[in-house]
Amino acid sequence: MTTLPEPREVHYRSSDGLTLFARDYGARLSPWLPVVCLAGLSRSGRDFDQLGKALAADRERPRRVLAFDYRGRGRSAWDGSSVNYNPLTEMSDVLDGMAALAIPRAAVIGTSRGGIIGMLMALARPTTVAALVLNDIGPTIEPLGLARIKTYVGRMPAPDDWADAERILRRLHGAQFTGLSDTDWQTYTRLTFRNDNGRPAGDYDPALARTFDGVEFDKPVPTLWDQFATLAKTPVLVIRGENSDLLSRETVAAMAAAHPGLETITVPGQGHAPLLIHSPLIQQIAAFVAAAEGDRPDPDAIFPRE
């Protein structure tokens, strides 16, 4: 079995002075289209570790891949003001990171919150998004799914050990993730909790729960159809978990009607949001990025100087 190289650890400053973190996979001078990975609301860039390693080690098109930890998540600094935990500020942080690491244009892979940020990037800085993968997120967000997420963000009990951490995740998400193996659940657990001297610990600022303040789940959630419309000429792939309660089949159908070139994948036995850890799904994502790129490296790419 080939051992894939570990990512470089990158620290950079946001425009308002926070120290933020990203994982940098692959050759800095790869001529192929880079990939930027953006995680869900309370997740970190660790969710993309297997994807990042696979894309960086691709035999035909080895890519540079960046996976960002938003402020208040993973290894990025917490913000003293929870109002800054919002998609616009996080988009600014990602764009700051791309500029610091000399990535002017990329295929963006966004899970849930990350997909919202990707759509906002395509609106605010269209040239930065060469292609977009929306992992279980769309212009219409189901209130039921948001309400379920609110029940555990910032409220998850502290696990006693790794076995207890896995039991907590199975209890919270088992009804949606019916297709995961025991090994998958162990991987999911390690992606969710950070390793604190051998023990599982939370990996985000609990103040992140305040992002739900003022959300009325009995009323329609504001949509992002105007933002999605700006992607008309951008290759888009939508991944939906078969059991998702955040992205409905009806929304995916409406997205396909609005974007005739839309590609879709349904992941069986998974909910919100599908785990990007299995080879078949990773290979489908790699093929989508390659098709969006075309036969030759992106002529508009700008590479960092050594």
Burial annotation 58-67 (CB, 10 A radius, 16+ → b, else e) = beeebbbbbb
Percent pLDDT > 70 in the chain is 95
pLDDT digits (tens, 9 = 90+) for 231-262: 999 999 999 999 999 999 999 999 999 999 99
The model carries a pTM of 0.94
Query: Does the pLDDT of residue 207 top 70, yes or no?
Result: yes
The CATH homologous superfamily for domain 8-156+202-293 is Alpha/Beta hydrolase fold, catalytic domain (3.40.50.1820)
Query: Does the pLDDT of residue 2 top 80, yes or no?
Result: no
Q: How far is CA 18 from the centre of its chain?
A: 21
Alpha carbons 111 and 76: distance in angstroms, whole number: 18
pLDDT digits (tens, 9 = 90+) for 12-44: 999 999 999 999 999 999 999 999 999 999 999
Alpha carbons 184 and 181: distance in angstroms, whole number: 5
Mean pLDDT of the chain: 93
Sorted by where each begins, the domain ranges of the chain are: 8-156+202-293
Closest alpha carbon to 47 in 111, 94, 115, 90: 111
Q: What is the pLDDT of residue 301?
A: 53
Q: What is the pLDDT of residue 299?
A: 57
Kindly give the residue spans of alpha helices, DSSP state H, lying in the chain. Answer: 49-56, 87-100, 113-124, 143-150, 162-173, 182-192, 225-229, 249-258, 279-293
Query: Does the pLDDT of residue 304 top 60, yes or no?
Result: no
pLDDT digits (tens, 9 = 90+) for 149-184: 998 998 888 999 999 999 999 999 999 999 999 999
Q: What is the pLDDT of residue 302?
A: 46
